[in-house]
Amino acid sequence: MQLRTAFNEWGSFTKGKFAGRQWLLAKWEVCAGVVWPQEKIDIMLGLVAQRLDLKAENSFIDLGCGGGWMLGGLKPSVGFAVGLDFSAQMLQNAVSIKATDALVQGEIGRLPLKDASFDRALCYFVLINMMDDAIVERAIMDMLRVVKPGGRLLIGQLPDQARSADYDRAKASYIDFCRQSGDLGDDLRDVNRMPQKLFDVPKLTGFLQQSRIGYKKMPSFNPFYRPGESPTIEWRFDLLLEK
In this structure, the number of other CB atoms found within 10 A of the CB of residue 91 comes to 23
Which residue's CB is nearer to ligand SAM, number 31 or number 179? 31
From 118, 125, 139, 154, select the one nearest 64 (Cα to Cα).
125
Which region, judged by CB under 6 A, interacts with ligand SAM, from 79-87, 174-182, 221-229, 234-242?
A: 79-87
Q: Is residue 154 within the footprint of ligand SAM (CB under 6 A)? A: no
Q: Smallest distance from the beta carbon of 30 to ligand SAM, in angstroms?
A: 11
Q: Is residue 221 within the footprint of ligand SAM (CB under 6 A)? A: no
Which region, judged by CB under 6 A, interacts with ligand SAM, from 31-39, 118-126, 213-221, 230-238?
A: 118-126
Which region, judged by CB under 6 A, interacts with ligand SAM, from 12-20, 85-93, 146-154, 159-167?
A: 85-93
Burial-class residue 61 by CB neighbours within 10 Å (0-12, 13-18, 19+): buried
**Binders of ligand SAM in range 14-53 (CB under 6 A):** 24
Q: Please, what sign has the CA dihedral across residues 30, 1, 240, 81?
A: negative
Which region, judged by CB under 6 A, interacts with ligand SAM, from 48-56, 59-67, 161-169, 196-204?
A: 59-67
Which residue's CB is nearer to ligand SAM, number 4 or number 217? 4
- DSSP assignments along the chain, one per residue: -HHHHHHHHHHHHHTTTTTTSSGGG-HHHHHHT----HHHHHHHHHHHHHHHT--TT-EEEEET-TTSHHHHHHGGGSSEEEEEES-HHHHHHHHHTT--SEEEE-BTTB-SS-TT-EEEEEEES-GGG--SHHHHHHHHHHHHHTEEEEEEEEEEEEEBGGGHHHHHHHHHHHHHHHHHTT-S-TT-----PPP-PPB-HHHHHHHHHHTT--EEEEEEE-TT--TTS-SEEEEEEEEEEE-
Which residue's CB is nearer to ligand SAM, number 62 or number 119? 62
Candidate list 29, 85, 137, 160; residue touching ligand SAM; CB under 6 A: 85
Q: Is residue 90 within the footprint of ligand SAM (CB under 6 A)? A: yes
Q: Smallest distance from the beta carbon of 140 to ligand SAM, in angstroms?
A: 12
Q: Smallest distance from the beta carbon of 123 to ligand SAM, in angstroms?
A: 7
Which region, judged by CB under 6 A, interacts with ligand SAM, from 45-53, 72-80, 123-131, 229-237?
A: 123-131
Size of the site for ligand SAM (CB under 6 A): 18
* Binding stretches for ligand SAM (CB under 6 A): 7, 24, 64-66, 69-70, 85-87, 90, 107-109, 124-126, 129
